[in-house]
A and B are shown apart, each in its own frame.
Chain A
Amino acid sequence: MYWNRKIECMPREELKELQFTRLKTLVDNLYSNNRFYHDKMKAAGVLPGDLTRMEDISKLPFMHKQDLRDNYPAGMFTVPATDMVRYHVSSGTTGKPTLVGYTKNDLDYWTEALARSLTSIGITADDTMQVSYGYGLFTGGLGLHYGAERVGATVLPSGTGSTERQLELMIDLGVTAIACTPSYMIHMIDVADRIGVDFRRDTKLRRAVLGAEPWTEGMRQRIESRAGIQAYDIYGTSEMAGPMFTECEERKGIHVSGDLAYVEIIDPETGESLGPGQKGEMVVTMLTKEAMPLIRYRIRDLTTLMDEECECGRTSPRIERISGRSDDMLIIRGINVFPSQIEYTLMRIPEVGDQYMILVDREGALDTLTIQVEIRNEAFSDRVEDMISLKRRIESEIKKYLNIGANVELKDQGSLPRFEGKAKRVVDRRIMT
């Protein structure tokens, strides 16, 4: 099922033409009418006329998050406030919050992207979707809300929090799909367990659209087997508009609609373009944005571009599950560690529960890594030595996969923090000088 078959299945050559036409129009316009982009292009020694084919995009300079911050609040906007219909403010995963403005068309394209995505995972007018992302300044709630409404689904705008009440509504209203962060999904499943709600028996939930934080395949398997649902990965950042793109039912990468966004992968160190299949930092150009264009924006998320066409029939390029944000990388005793690698390792150990925390400290000159995990009841043994050997086994798995020594602390259920919005599982207590 397609929402917009013509665009979604457009032959690659035609798509490329459309992309180039849109890029050219955008760059011409910005060079003539916007101080920031004009100066930036001049400084890089590139003129609109230097763009003769899509590949020439690599001549354009990169944009950075710092550009958005330096020009806060309105310096990056290319339309007057009167043309703006909404603002969102990013959660500031790293550093200061970022302001994003939207014109009517911007909202329309964002919603269109979500309508395509939701349709691609089988969500239709017959569905009732609970939107358990935060509503408000965060893009997740309102974004999914309008996307689900556009496909004709019935929306339950429950936002975050009051989890028991959310479960009650899910049952009473026969909710079939949910959108939230993966960590909130886990939290909901935990709460359901505690109050005796069985997702399979008591709810009609079939699909979950999960994102806004990096998560792993192991976490997906746990969510699916515990709740008896299909979980799909959704991607997007506030700078792009918000959550926009999902996997299709094939679940082999996230489809990035080519008429709306152009994705490049670069080596984060050198800025050189990397080919399909090579992992690097994602650079995004938004081809239709009006209020706050993005041209070669370094989004800092790490992924791989999959260029071959998907079996679902959509021709759009796909990106692999985001493996982390380059800003999230921890350097511990000189070793690069991504929190997602730790999650990957933990989720493969059946005795480990679904909640964990990563604590980084410095003792003297030495960094220390502590990983706290909740243990599953089935893994508990009455014998102290069994528990110590479980702890050692987790430590040795971490050592094996990440090549770093960690101290693993076993915790009982409910003793680690739960997250309703974006999870904050890493606590870095080192004082950087």
Chain B
Amino acid sequence: MSEIITQLSIFVNNEPGRLAAIASTLRECDVSMKAFSLAESVEFGILRAIVQNPEQAYEKLRSKGIVMKKTEVIGIRLPDRPGAIFETANVLGGAGINIEYGYAYTGDNGPMMFLRVDDPRAAVEALGASGVKTLKESEI
């Protein structure tokens, strides 16, 4: 299914300079981040990033010893009007799909939202059926 987007999730120690070290590896590997969010606990963080060529970026970063995994997320274009998030969340809620986390980003093509849900395929289907278009990787 092409409307599932591969997100890279990267483990980051919560200590000074660690994010910089990982960012420097990203640069070294020529990985360009389009959107990201940083989840944090007291001792560590998880960097979640949407990048160009995620498969290739994953291989490169793993070979540098970065602790990471590929996670499937879905992307939605957000119309710039009140209630836009509600509509999406409402469809997913109605379909019994749980949203674990999400983050938004404003790119060249307007605002978008990335969601990690417990069943991404069912989410794409449910959203599609109610007229909410999910994004392909090429559309980000």
Whether A383 sits at the interface, judged by CB under 8 Å, is: yes
Contacts of A380 in B (CB 8 A): 9, 11, 67-69
Q: Which residue of A lies closest to B41 (CB)?
A: A384
In the A-B complex, the 7 residue pairs with the smallest Cβ-Cβ separation, listed nearest first, are: A382-B9, A413-B65, A412-B67, A382-B71, A414-B65, A380-B67, A412-B11
Tell me if B's interface is mostly helix, strand, loop or mixed.
strand
Cβ–Cβ contact B69 & A387, under 8 A = no
Whether A388 sits at the interface, judged by CB under 8 Å, is: yes
Cβ–Cβ contact B39 & A384, under 8 A = yes
Contacts of A190 in B (CB 8 A): 65
Q: Which residue of B lies closest to A383 (CB)?
A: B100
Q: Which residue of B lies closest to A411 (CB)?
A: B13
Cβ–Cβ contact A377 & B67, under 8 A = yes
Whether A410 sits at the interface, judged by CB under 8 Å, is: yes
Whether A194 sits at the interface, judged by CB under 8 Å, is: yes
Q: Which residue of B lies closest to A413 (CB)?
A: B65
Contacts of B116 in A (CB 8 A): 382
Whether A375 sits at the interface, judged by CB under 8 Å, is: yes
Cβ–Cβ contact B46 & A384, under 8 A = yes
Q: CA separation between A252 and B64, bound complex, in Å?
A: 39
Cβ–Cβ contact B67 & A413, under 8 A = yes
Whether A237 sits at the interface, judged by CB under 8 Å, is: no
Q: Which of B13, B15, B64, B116: most chain A Cβ within 10 A?
A: B13
Whether B78 sits at the interface, judged by CB under 8 Å, is: no
Tell me the A388-432 residues at the B interface (CB within 8 Å). 388, 391, 409-415
How many whole Å from A398's CB to the nearest CB in chain B? Answer: 16
Bitwise, B39-61 to A at CB < 8 A (1) or not (0) is 11101101010000000000000
How many whole Å from A143's CB to the nearest CB in chain B? Answer: 33
Bitwise, A369-385 to B at CB < 8 A (1) or not (0) is 00000011100111110
Q: Which residue of A lies closest to B39 (CB)?
A: A384
Contacts of B15 in A (CB 8 A): 415
Q: CA separation between A409 and B43, bound complex, in Å?
A: 7
Cβ–Cβ contact A412 & B43, under 8 A = no
How many whole Å from A117's CB to the nearest CB in chain B? Answer: 35
Residue count of chain B within 8 Å CB distance of chain A: 24
A377 with B18, Cβ < 8 A, contacts A384-B46, A410-B43, A412-B12 known: no
A387 with B13, Cβ < 8 A, contacts A194-B65, A413-B67 known: no
Whether A196 sits at the interface, judged by CB under 8 Å, is: yes
Contacts of A414 in B (CB 8 A): 65
Contacts of B62 in A (CB 8 A): 377
Cβ–Cβ contact A387 & B48, under 8 A = no
Bitwise, A190-204 to B at CB < 8 A (1) or not (0) is 100110100000000
Whether B66 sits at the interface, judged by CB under 8 Å, is: yes
Cβ–Cβ contact A387 & B44, under 8 A = yes
Contacts of B18 in A (CB 8 A): 412, 415
Contacts of A410 in B (CB 8 A): 11, 13, 43-44
Contacts of A383 in B (CB 8 A): 100
Interface residue from A193, A196, A375, A388 paired with B11 (Cβ < 8 Å): A375
Cβ–Cβ contact B67 & A375, under 8 A = yes
Q: CA separation between A415 and B11, bound complex, in Å?
A: 12
